[in-house]
Structure 1
Amino acid sequence: MTQPNLLVIGSLNMDIVVQTARYPLVGETITGENVHFIPGGKGANQAIAAARLGAETAMIGAVGQDAFGENLLHSLEKEGVDVSGIKQVAGVATGVASIYIAEGDNSIVVVPGANNRLEFADIDRNEALLRQADIVLLQLEIPEETVLYAASKAKIFGKTVVLNPAPAKPIPDELFQLADYITPNRTELGRYTGMETDGSSLGFAMQRMKEIGEAHIVTTLGSAGSAYIADDGSIQTIPGHKVPVVDTTGAGDCYNAGLAISIATGRSLEEAVNFASLVSALAVTKFGAQAGMPTIAEVRAFEAERNKTGADQA
């Protein structure tokens, strides 16, 4: 099978991860258990996930000329990601995400920093990376106008565009119309459509999002798995996998990388969703967004064990 070529255009952040037994109440001070400084950002997470899953991976993004920026670049290079498209911006701090982990889940506050300096010129300057990519993977932690411009150029070159519309924010319908695949989680789906996403309402909300741009819609549902709209218009659900949860940070990013790689290798949407479900399940079994990204060997072993034992899904 030909090695897929994936281009990620997105954010790089230093994650400052604080572990606590519980979340503090408003106005309350509690004592945390641990603090870690971990390379992150949705774009960088997806790039490292893709590289570990066997894709030839490049990234376009921006960091500051500071220690955090150097650390992030080193982290990507160590995993074999092409960082030639990442610029270092003078006088601007590298993006930071403050992540609080408690009770098996997380909450996140992001300060974009240099991510907000990714501009049209940066996309143009790295046109060669766009031309060689099979798939372009985008998120929304960089300026939305830059995301729109990147998607437009990708389509000019005939590339498949996967849009992970996170974090949810007001964006023009044109961006949805440029995407070939859109991957909101349940909360993001509700915000973009203004509809309920529980129970039978999920399918109606997914159909509403499809009407905006006619893209393939895949919705992640956390531990419940994921859902997608099949070619016949039906809503199909893939259950999640039962695994010991250590850290959910980055699971969605891993899912998107797995989905994009599967699509690039010519798998059907059903096969791609199943593969993405496997890789994201493994991601939550380790601490740290990037550290938790599984290798393709780990995924194959996990899949083989599931098939051998007939392990239940969630």
Structure 2
Amino acid sequence: MAEPIIAVVGGLNMDLIFETDRMPEIGESMNCSTLVSFPGGKGANTAIATFRASRSRPTSEDKGSDNKSNLRVYMNGAVGDDDFGIALKMKLQQQGVDVSGVRTINNERSGTCVVIVETESGDSRNIAYQGANLKWTPREHNSVECLAGGAKPDLVIAHLGVRREEVERVLETAHRNDVETLLNPSPAVYLVNSTYKNLTHLVLNETEAALLSGRNIDELNDLTAWQEAVEDFIQLGVKNVVVTLGAKGAYYATSAGDKGVVDAEKNVKVIDTTGAGDTFVGNYATEYIRQRQLNQWDISKAVARACKASARTVERLGAQESIPWADEIDG
């Protein structure tokens, strides 16, 4: 059986994480308790989450032995010609992700994200400078193979950390070449309706679901509202839709009529929610590929594993540093 390949398209950012007791008020100056920097960006986080979801954490005993699954992960994005850019690519390489699709943009800064985390709740707020991310283009506009080192990927995952027009073109190219796709529309921006028919999977949170379905976020507060919003996307051509609901779990529906709610993990101590959504996407995608190799598809199992993985992520500080390995999810 050929090695499955997942190609990720999205942003790479250096995250500057400030921990504080509370968010400052407008016009207020206050000090934080800690400051750390971690490689991040939704695209890069998802690439690492996808890689780790199929492998156990390496140990000293693994040296010289094969602790690898046959899943290959390619990252496609852009960094600046600065120190952050070097560090962002190096971290991905160290984690086993192929970075041949990561372009270095001359005379541009790498994406940088300020993350403010409330110590008590673990809730976070982000503000990002996208920099080089907005300069990314695929090496060949009409090729899906260029996203995976010349091979045809089994799944393309895309985020909106790069220009929307490029993402829509990638999704259309993949669909035209019979490559399945997953879109996590974050940060959420308007998408032309024709994009949805190119999606095998749409994974989004409540805020993104409200914005893209033309609803007020306050309206998406019960099962009926989730069903109505998701049905809009299915009518536009999406085959599988998942709305992540934080502590409430996730709602899913398919064009084949399957639908339901998967509860969130219980007794989770939330330290930092950064990267939880990217961990969800990576684990959902990996489980989809695993099931597809067995000629199966039970979306509820993929959503359940993704919820479990996200719970492990929020229990630690940072995005990439907190992403769990397969044995931490399934053990």
Query: What CA distance in whole angstroms lies between the structure 1 residues aligned with 2:202 and 2:237?
Result: 9
Maintained 8 Å contact 1:130/1:136: no
Query: Which residue, out of 230, 246, 249, partners 2:274?
Result: 249
The equivalent of 1:31 in structure 2 is 31
Letter in 1 for 2:233: M
Aligned length: 301
What is the deviation of 1:128? Answer: 4.8
Shift of 1:261: 0.8
CA 130–192 in structure 1, closer or farther in 2 if over 3 Å, else same: farther
With structure 1 as the length reference, what TM-score do the two structures score? Answer: 0.91
1:267-303 Cα offsets, whole Å, 9 max, x none, are 42121111111111111111110001000111121xx
Shift of 1:132: 3.0
- The structure 1 residue matched to 2:125, chosen from 92, 107, 125, is 107
Per the alignment, residue 87 of structure 1 pairs with 103
- AA aligned to 1:105 is D
Pair 1:153-2:177 in alignment:
no
Instruction: Give the match's secondary structure for 2:29.
Output: coil
| In 2: Cα distance, 1:3 partner to 1:23 partner | 46
Structure 1 stretches of 4+ moved >4 Å: 122-125
Cα contact 1:138–1:147 (8 A) shared by 2: yes
Cα distance in 1, alignment partners of residues 254 and 168 from structure 2: 26
Give aligned-pair identity as a percent: 31
Could you tell which deviates more after superposition, 136-145 or 153-162?
A: 153-162
RMSD, aligned α-carbons: 1.7
Q: Which of 109-118 and 175-184 deviates more?
A: 175-184
Partner of 1:77: 93
Amino acid at match of 2:220: T
1:82-231 aligned at under 5 Å gives the runs 82-102=98-118, 103-121=121-139, 124=143, 126-129=146-149, 131-195=151-215, 196-199=219-222, 200-230=224-254
Secondary structure of 2:85's counterpart equals helix
Cα deviation digits, residues 112-147 of structure 1 (max 9, x gap): 100000124465582554743211100111001110
Distance in 1, matches of 2:3 and 2:301, equals 17
Give the 3 Å change call, closer, same or farther, for CA 120–87 of structure 1 in structure 2.
closer
Other structure's SS at 2:242 match:
strand
User: Structure 1: any 5+ residue segments left out of the alignment?
Assistant: 302-314
**For 1:213, what is the secondary structure of its paired residue?**
coil
Aligned to 2:79: 63
Hey, what's the Cα distance between the residues in 2 that align with 1:35 and 1:47? Answer: 25
Q: Contact 1:61 / 1:118 at 8 angstroms: preserved in 2?
A: yes
State how far apart, in whole Å, the 2-side matches of 1:172 and 1:232 are: 24
Which TM-score applies when normalising by structure 2? 0.87
**What does residue 311 of structure 1 align with?**
none
User: Which stretch shifts more, 31-40 or 230-239?
Assistant: 230-239
Aligned match of 2:287 in 250, 262, 265? 262
Which residue number corresponds to residue 46 of structure 1? 46
